[in-house]
Chain A
Amino acid sequence: MKYFRTFLFALQTEMQYRANLVMWFVVGAIGPLTMVMVWFAILGERSDIGGYTKGDFVIYYLFMTFGWYLVGGEFSRQIGHAIRNGEINKTLLKPYSIVIGEWASEQAWKLTSMLVSLPALALVLYLMRGYIDWSFVPGQAIWIAMSLFFGAIIFALIQATIGILAFWVTEIWPFAEMMDVTLHLFGGMLAPIALLPQAVQRVTVWLPFRYIFFEPINIILGNQSDPMSVIYKQGIFIVVLYLLHVVVWKAGIRRYEGIGG
């Protein structure tokens, strides 16, 4: 309930700055839009590249834009800010986690942005209807929902761990920047992993990043014949990342010296 109140408070703040929401959607859409244009140019008269048709590319990058509000975000900087400025002090003696609080707060921004982007999503789907040949299989819905949910947890755990590095360093943004680079390199944000050079593809299997966006969208596109294996691997990464997060948090708290409150 307390985190829900944090969420509601953040939601009120977001509603005050509605103009930003529309612009954030524009910012989020530019990268995927240019990538769709690039792949359309490469495809030319070909029907597909590595099994990806024009319609698949549209859905792929549309998900990268829209799915960011479901799975992605960026609350590591807020956690870092709270630690650096001592805002964390008042939460340490209460049954309140600053990490979950910042996560809950961010959901407000994501929810409002997602709602704002829905008309744009519908418009793109309408304009691209000639290319899209996607049929929804009801049986896949549970796998899609689970993979998105687990992908969001993996993403949140990585963000949280990056944020609490502020116990050791004053600047969090280089780590957040590296996270962005890594998601592009190994997470399929740049291009479908199946189209990347073989060496990169091999590395991605051992890292959690492909399970955040790429594998859920693979299930959505019907390219994943064994969705259960994806859920299973996501589960393993969640356990590993959670343990890592707990270890880093405990080590950070031990060395933290709070002044004031």
Chain B
Amino acid sequence: MRAKLSKLFNYYKLGFIFDIKANIAYPTTFWFAAITIPLWIFIQILLIETIYGQTNNFLGYTRFENYVLFGTFKLVQSIASLIFFVRLEDLAAKVRGYSDWSLDVMLLKPIDSQIFATTGKFWFGSISSAAAGIGMVVYGLLHEPHVIPASAVLMYTMAVLLGVFFLYLLFLFIQTWLFWFEYLQIGESLWFTSQAFGQYPRRLYSGAVGILINIVMPITLMASVPVEFLFGQIPFTTFIMYTLIVAGLFVFTRWFWQYSIKKYSSFSS
């Protein structure tokens, strides 16, 4: 077990170092991404200002609490993109056999296919976006101070990590369909677009939609849930509930991956 973990650590370490070197060698894409992606922050700030130009309280959130909410959303989105985006986005090309090396190579290595095919490369272009998200959180908290105990910060951090992992599972689930419809072109766009549901308070969704977005596919883990932990609005038991839901989704997506990969037909070797 220890040897396996050590191998895994080395795999991620090497991937991290390699990607840093690649960014240093070919910095243009990195700088383009680092400059343009955070521009979406302006959209979110404008949306906040537009909403609070019409109301003082949006689903229980004040203006500056909403900055914390949007900042958290951006943070979770950026971390998930940093760790999981490259490999999962590239999966389409690998399944179709026109990437630099096909999925065949990945399946033949002495490493779990899901780990190798879906993780291990890093997208540093989203670092600036994560920094902007942290900036929004800090800005919101400075303008409307809350008494936040250390336990709330811990819960917030754990919920953020849970949100990041959930986003991985969501992208994995979407991309696994490539084994069934190899010319599905929608994966990346669907993943990013569906995140729009995650940037608003949980209370926005009610009825069947609420059950789907808050519980079955808890995309509100991206912002609303962590922020409610930070402000002490929900108890620890809720965290256990979300952990169990995400664990269930992990088991399901893992099963779906392993079942679907049997459908893969090699183009060449």
Contact = CB atoms under 8 A, between A and B. Distances in A.
Interface of A: 16-17, 19-20, 23-24, 26-27, 30-31, 34, 37-38, 41-42, 49-50, 170-171, 173-174, 177-178, 181, 184-185, 190-191, 195-197, 200
B36 A177 contact: yes
Contact of A191 (B47, B197, B204): B47
B205 interface: yes
A198 B138 CA distance: 26
A174 B53 contact: no
B58 interface: yes
A180 to B, nearest CB: 9
Contacts of B114: none
Contacts of A26: 190
A197 B181 CA distance: 45
Given A195-B54, A197-B53, 20 more contacts: A17-B183, A20-B183, A20-B184, A20-B185, A24-B186, A27-B186, A27-B189, A30-B196, A34-B200, A37-B204, A37-B205, A41-B59, A42-B58, A49-B54, A171-B29, A181-B36, A185-B42, A190-B43, A195-B53, A197-B50
Nearest to A34: B196
A90 to B, nearest CB: 22
Given A37-B205, A41-B204, A174 B43 contact: no
B37 interface: yes
B28 interface: yes
B255 interface: no
Contact residues of B: prevailing secondary structure: helix
Which one of B40, B46, B49, B184 has the highest number of Cβ atoms from chain A below 10 Å of its Cβ?
B46
A153 B28 CA distance: 32
Contacts of A30: 193-194, 196-197
17 contacts: A17-B185, A19-B183, A24-B186, A30-B196, A30-B197, A37-B205, A38-B51, A38-B204, A41-B204, A42-B58, A49-B54, A171-B32, A181-B40, A181-B42, A196-B50, A197-B46, A200-B46
Contacts of B35: 174
Report the interface size class on chain B. Answer: 35 or more
A181 B39 contact: yes
A145 B36 CA distance: 34
A190 B50 contact: yes
A30 B186 CA distance: 13
Nearest to A43: B54
Contacts of A16: 183
Contact of B32 (A24, A27, A174): A174
B204 A178 contact: no
B46 A190 contact: yes
A20 B53 CA distance: 39
Contacts of B51: 38, 42
Contact of B186 (A20, A195, A200): A20
A49 B54 CA distance: 7
Contacts of B54: 42, 49-50, 195
Nearest to B31: A174
B217 interface: no
B24 to A, nearest CB: 17
Which 9 pairs across A and B sit closest by C-beta, in order of nearness? A23-B186, A174-B32, A174-B36, A181-B39, A27-B193, A177-B36, A30-B193, A27-B189, A34-B196
B47 A190 contact: yes
A27 B190 contact: yes
Contacts of A184: 43
B55 interface: yes
Contacts of A34: 196-197, 200, 204
B123 to A, nearest CB: 14
Contacts of B55: 42
Contacts of B42: 181, 185
B33 interface: yes
